[in-house]
């Protein structure tokens, strides 16, 4: 599983709920977050690098938890990979189309996600009768990352500022199209009221992954608890608190690793050496599965 930072741990949280026995390796590109304000070309390059890094750990499947990556990079990168890669767009679109019937859906996300219109197209491909309105909410990510509590006045102000015009339209469902937004489920639910369904991509992705693993006969035997090992490209002291907030469980240890250049180092013995200044990379080659990640 990978994300631009630690927000993707909200998807990991849902994966662990639905698939408690799987071994999860998480890569958070904390040195280069946010992706949501970057160009498509840059997000694609980062995605290729991270997938190159993860492929070395021989995953059965890769999950792009980052909604921005799923929206702007996966259509191009998916066909280059030797293993299946699951993004959040299609599972979330299917879920929201199911709950919204034939009515109005509001999609919230980063600037890049909204500009791509990926969620809008995916929802309307499933049901052209659904009307979709979109709204980028760029301040939500830094507010969540700052660790503000859900009833914080600034969070309520940002919600009002971005979403008043959407609320007036009376949506039937709101798609939380960003890794960080499930943390704001409480205040968003209060704001829209009980008649509006808030759809969180994490659960939709977890259910789809479960289906795909079963179909490909890749399910892990249910004889040992699942594991979670976290790799990050930068390790600031506040990450442990932030990680716990997103994952819903304490994350005591992050392994530092860098993804830059991994897309170009395919099959090169050079990557088995300890590259100067990148201690995390050689750590991973020694024995990734034995490291205590969580
Ligand atoms: N992970 C990103 C997403 O879900 C949010 C943070 C960022 O902008 O990188 O779109």
Q: Which residues contact 229 (CB under 8 A, 6 or more apart)?
A: 23, 24, 25, 26, 255, 288, 289, 291, 292, 293, 294
Structure tokens at 136: 């980028």
Told to judge if 230 belongs to the known catalytic residues of this protein, a careful annotator would answer no
Cα dist from 251 to 1, 57, 63, 112, 294, whole Å: 16, 20, 20, 29, 5
Residue indicated by tokens 């679109």: 93
Ligand 1 centre distance from Cα of residue 262 (Å): 21
Whether the predicted pLDDT of 190 surpasses 60: yes
Can you tell me which atom of ligand 1 is nearest the CA of 179? 4
Residue 250, φ and ψ in degrees, nearest 5: -65, 135
Can you tell me which atom of ligand 1 is nearest the CA of 35? 9
Atom 6 of ligand 1, nearest CA residue: 34
pLDDT tens string 78-89: 999 999 999 999
Task: Give the whole-angstrom CA distance, residue 10 versus residue 117.
Answer: 22
pLDDT tens string 196-238: 999 989 999 999 999 999 998 887 777 778 889 999 999 877 7
287 vs 262, which has greater pLDDT?
Answer: 262
Looking at residue 272, what is its pLDDT? 32
Q: Which residues contact 97 (CB under 8 A, 6 or more apart)?
A: 105, 123, 126, 127, 130
Pocket of ligand 1 (CB under 6 A): 3-5, 7, 33-36, 66-68, 110, 113, 141, 178-180
CA angle 223, 245, 98 (to 5 degrees): 75
Report residue 96 CA to chain centroid gap: 17
Residues 61/86, Cβ–Cβ less than 8 Å: yes
Can you tell me which atom of ligand 1 is nearest the CA of 36? 8
Q: For the stretch 73-104, what's the b/e string if a residue is b when 16 or more beta carbons lie within 10 angstroms of its beta carbon?
A: bbeebbeebeebbbbbbbbbbbbbbeebeeeb
pLDDT (average), residues 98-118: 93
Ligand 1 centre distance from Cα of residue 69 (Å): 8
Whether the predicted pLDDT of 14 surpasses 90: yes
Residue indicated by tokens 């034995």: 290
Residues 86/205, Cβ–Cβ less than 8 Å: yes
Residues 35/178, Cβ–Cβ less than 8 Å: no
Ligand 1 centre distance from Cα of residue 111 (Å): 10
Residues 109/199, Cβ–Cβ less than 8 Å: no
pLDDT tens string 157-166: 999 999 999 9
pLDDT tens string 173-187: 999 999 999 999 999
């Amino acid at each position: 599983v990978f994300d631009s930072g630690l927000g993707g741990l909200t998807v990991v949280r849902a994966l662990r709920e639905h698939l408690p026995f799987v071994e999860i390796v998480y890569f958070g590109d904390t040195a280069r977050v946010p992706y949501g304000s970057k160009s498509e070309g840059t997000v694609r390059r980062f995605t290729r690098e991270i997938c190159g890094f993860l492929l070395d750990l021989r995953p059965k499947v890769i999950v792009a938890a980052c909604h921005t990556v799923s929206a702007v990079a996966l259509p191009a990168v998916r066909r280059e990979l030797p293993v299946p890669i699951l993004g959040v767009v299609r599972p979330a679109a299917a879920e929201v189309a199911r709950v919204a019937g034939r009515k109005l859906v509001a999609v919230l996300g980063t600037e890049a996600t909204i500009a791509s219109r990926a969620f809008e197209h995916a929802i309307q491909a499933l049901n052209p009768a659904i009307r979709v309105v979109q709204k980028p909410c760029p301040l939500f990510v830094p507010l969540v990352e700052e660790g503000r509590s859900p009833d914080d006045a600034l969070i309520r102000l940002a919600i009002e500022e971005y979403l008043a015009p959407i609320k007036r339209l009376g949506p039937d469902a709101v798609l939380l199209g960003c890794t960080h937004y499930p943390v704001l489920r409480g205040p968003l639910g209060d704001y829209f009221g009980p008649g509006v369904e808030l759809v969180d991509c994490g659960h939709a992705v977890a259910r789809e992954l479960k289906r795909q693993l079963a179909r490909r006969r890749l399910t892990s035997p249910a004889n040992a608890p699942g594991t979670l090992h976290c790799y990050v490209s930068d390790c600031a002291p506040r990450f442990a608190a932030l990680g716990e907030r997103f994952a819903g469980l304490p994350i005591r240890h992050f392994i530092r690793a860098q993804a830059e250049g991994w897309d170009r180092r395919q099959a090169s013995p050079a990557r088995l050496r300890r590259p100067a200044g990148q201690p995390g990379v050689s750590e991973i080659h020694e024995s990734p599965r034995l490291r205590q990640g969580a």
